[in-house]
């Protein structure tokens, strides 16, 4: 028989609604899973089993509030959960206890979600993977020697390894979609400001997005309904026929030439979409280097006020990699920051113009499969080789999905992007691809 932790969110929700599965049964099985695998994965930095079980038993007695009723949801440890530490994976925040729930936690709690664990992140959502922090870095369940992606690293590892059906992350330059790429799951970054950021420790306020990770597109739609309101499942089964998809091939061919296996997987995704009835046309956007330069300057400029005091007074409190990534912000001039914001407008306009000709974009997500986690040179080389950062600059909704496996058994990926506020259209395209490609059954060896 299928154990509860193996169920997708949608399957677990249906079983709970039919009274065939109690929230406490689902949670107990997930907690058992965490106890067995987390010592290997390092995905959870705090498991709050007693409080979660108390909440689950209370929900056992209630009529289901929503499809999220009794569903365990992991929380990236930059997001406040009342009464629990929000450490940001840092020695500088070990004793900071949240006084109240973040806005997104409050919404999910009202829908009946349970929060059994705070999950590993790169320090302050920027510095990692690092081994000089209070908690170890999360590892990739497809191969424990490899990087799971970041900065929502624990969220990706936990969902892929089936410790829980869904998890929250944040995404400033791709930090939800990167773990989705490397862990073979679904990572959704909604439109900027669709999900409120109150109670989320900031990295760069005008680039930060609250996002989510799940095992299926349907599960992502269910999560988004609870997080943002709306009926995002409506129409996701409409299929690909007649959908106009713009293929941004130059991202992975010329701007950041992708690993051959990754490039082949993206090209195969395009051919499959066409076979399913989508109308593909090649689209040209500004080069990735332009988006990356703007993202970098804005991130430095907006992170500096958050970290300037610690950087000056307690620099030794950071991991070395975090300190190195944050320090340039102290040297950035106001002129440089404002110039990046000026250039941002035309970049956003260029992406918006593409959507006058097509409904959805298809692009690369990562340019490489996951590298070894203990190879700093490989991490530094591959980390910026991605096409996610463009859509933090522009704020457009984007979703990453699995697009195959490399010869060494590591996930390959692709990305869909939609017009602003068109998450329903984005989920329709992603679901059409997911249904056609059949990767849903793929699971990491540890799972």
Residue with tokens 């060494």: 408
Lowest mean pLDDT, pick from 124-128, 284-288, 352-356: 124-128
- According to the model, what pLDDT value does residue 440 have? 58
> Residues 22-46: what's their mean pLDDT?
98
**Residue 98 scores a pLDDT above 70:** yes
> Residues 6-23: what's their mean pLDDT?
98
Could you give the CA distance from residue 315 to residue 311 in angstroms, rounded to a whole number?
5
Of the candidates 24, 76, 152, 153, the residue annotated as catalytic is 76
List phi, psi (to 5°) of 146.
-110, 160
pLDDT tens across 194-206, in order?
999 999 999 999 9
Of the candidates 24, 90, 151, 181, the residue annotated as catalytic is 151
Could you give the CA distance from residue 236 to residue 284 in angstroms, rounded to a whole number?
27
Q: What does the H/E/C string look like for the chain?
A: CCCHHHCCHHHHHHHHHCCCCCHHHHHHHHHHHHHHHHHHHCCEEEECHHHHHHHHHHHHCCCCCCCCCCCEEEEECCECCCCCECCCCCHHHCCCECCCCCHHHHHHHHCCCECCEEECCCECCCECCCCCCCCCCCCECCECCECCCCCCHHHHHHHHCCCCCEEEEEECCCCCHHHHHHHCCEEEECCCCCCCCCCECCCCCCCCEEEEEECCHHHHHHHHHHHHCCCCCCCCCCCCCCCEEEECCHHHHHHCCCCHHHHHHHHHHHHHHHHCCCEEEECCCCCHHHHHHHHHHHHHHHHHHHHHHHHHHCHHHCCHHHHHHHCHHHHCCHHHHHHHHHHHHHHHHHHHHHCCCCCEEEECCECCCCCECCCHHHHHHHCCCECCCHHHHHCCCEEEEEEEECCCCCEEEEEEECCCCCHHHHHHHHHHHHHHHCHHHCCCCCC
To the nearest whole number, what is the mean pLDDT of the chain? Answer: 97
**Residue 325 scores a pLDDT above 80:** yes
Q: Which fold would CATH assign to domain 4-289+337-441?
A: Amidase signature (AS) enzymes (3.90.1300)
- According to the model, what pLDDT value does residue 1 have? 66
- According to the model, what pLDDT value does residue 442 have? 83
The pLDDT-based confidence of 84 (bands split at 50, 70, 90) is: very high
- According to the model, what pLDDT value does residue 438 have? 79
Q: Does the active-site annotation cover 118?
A: no
pLDDT tens across 239-295, in order?
999 999 999 999 999 999 999 999 999 999 999 999 999 999 999 999 999 999 999
Q: Does the active-site annotation cover 66?
A: no
pLDDT tens across 422-446, in order?
999 999 999 999 999 977 568 899 8
pLDDT tens across 335-349, in order?
999 999 999 999 999
pTM for this predicted structure: 0.97
- According to the model, what pLDDT value does residue 407 have? 96
- Find out whether the peptide bond into 129 is cis, omega within 30 degrees of 0: yes
pLDDT tens across 197-237, in order?
999 999 999 999 999 999 999 999 999 999 999 999 999 99
Q: Does the active-site annotation cover 76?
A: yes
pLDDT tens across 182-191, in order?
999 999 999 9
- According to the model, what pLDDT value does residue 441 have? 66
Count Cα atoms within 13 angstroms, Cβ side, for 361. 30
pLDDT tens across 375-412, in order?
999 999 999 999 999 999 999 999 999 999 999 999 99
Of the candidates 152, 175, 181, 366, the residue annotated as catalytic is 175
């Amino acid at each position: 028989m299928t154990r509860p932790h193996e169920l997708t969110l949608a399957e677990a929700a249906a079983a709970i609604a039919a009274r065939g599965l109690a929230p406490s049964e689902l949670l107990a099985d997930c907690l058992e899973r965490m106890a067995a695998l987390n010592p290997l994965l390092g995905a959870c930095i705090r498991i709050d089993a007693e409080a979660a079980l108390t909440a689950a038993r209370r929900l056992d007695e209630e009529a289901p509030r929503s499809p999220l009723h009794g569903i365990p949801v992991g929380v990236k440890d930059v997001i406040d959960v009342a009464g629990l530490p929000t450490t940001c994976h840092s020695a500088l925040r070990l004793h900071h206890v949240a006084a109240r729930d973040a806005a997104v936690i409050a919404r999910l709690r009202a829908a009946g979600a349970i929060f059994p664990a705070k999950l590993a992140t790169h320090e302050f959502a920027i510095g990692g993977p690092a081994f000089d922090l209070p908690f170890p870095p999360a590892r990739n369940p497809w191969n424990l020697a490899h990087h799971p992606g970041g900065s929502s690293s624990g969220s990706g590892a936990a969902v892929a390894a089936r410790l829980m059906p869904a998890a929250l992350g944040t995404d400033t330059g791709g930090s939800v979609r990167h773990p989705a790429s490397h862990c073979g799951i679904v990572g959704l970054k909604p439109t900027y400001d669709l999900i409120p950021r109150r109670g989320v420790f900031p990295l760069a306020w005008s680039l930060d997005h609250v996002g989510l990770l799940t095992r299926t597109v349907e599960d992502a739609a269910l999560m988004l309904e609870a997080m943002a309101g709306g009926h995002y499942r409506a129409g996701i089964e409409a299929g690909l026929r007649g959908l106009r998809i713009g293929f941004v091939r130059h991202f992975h061919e010329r701007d950041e030439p992708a690993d051959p296996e990754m490039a082949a997987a993206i090209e195969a995704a395009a051919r499959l979409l066409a076979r399913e009835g989508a109308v593909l046309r090649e689209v040209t956007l500004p080069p990735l280097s332009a988006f990356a330069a703007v993202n970098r300057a804005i991130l430095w400029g907006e992170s500096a006020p958050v970290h300037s005091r610690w950087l000056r007074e307690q620099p030794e409190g950071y991991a070395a990699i975090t300190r190195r990534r944050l320090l340039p912000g102290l040297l950035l001039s106001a002129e440089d920051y404002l110039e990046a914001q000026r250039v941002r407008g035309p970049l956003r306009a260029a992406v918006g113009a593409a959507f006058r000709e097509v409904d959805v974009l298809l692009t690369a997500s990562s340019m490489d499969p996951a590298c070894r986690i203990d190879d700093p040179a490989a991490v530094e080389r591959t980390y910026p080789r991605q096409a996610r950062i463009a859509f933090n600059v522009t704020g457009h909704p984007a979703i990453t999905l699995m697009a195959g496996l490399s010869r060494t058994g590591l996930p390959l990926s692709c990305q869909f992007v939609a017009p602003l506020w068109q998450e329903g259209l984005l989920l329709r395209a992603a679901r059409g691809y997911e249904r056609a490609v059949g990767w849903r059954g793929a699971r990491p060896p540890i799972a």
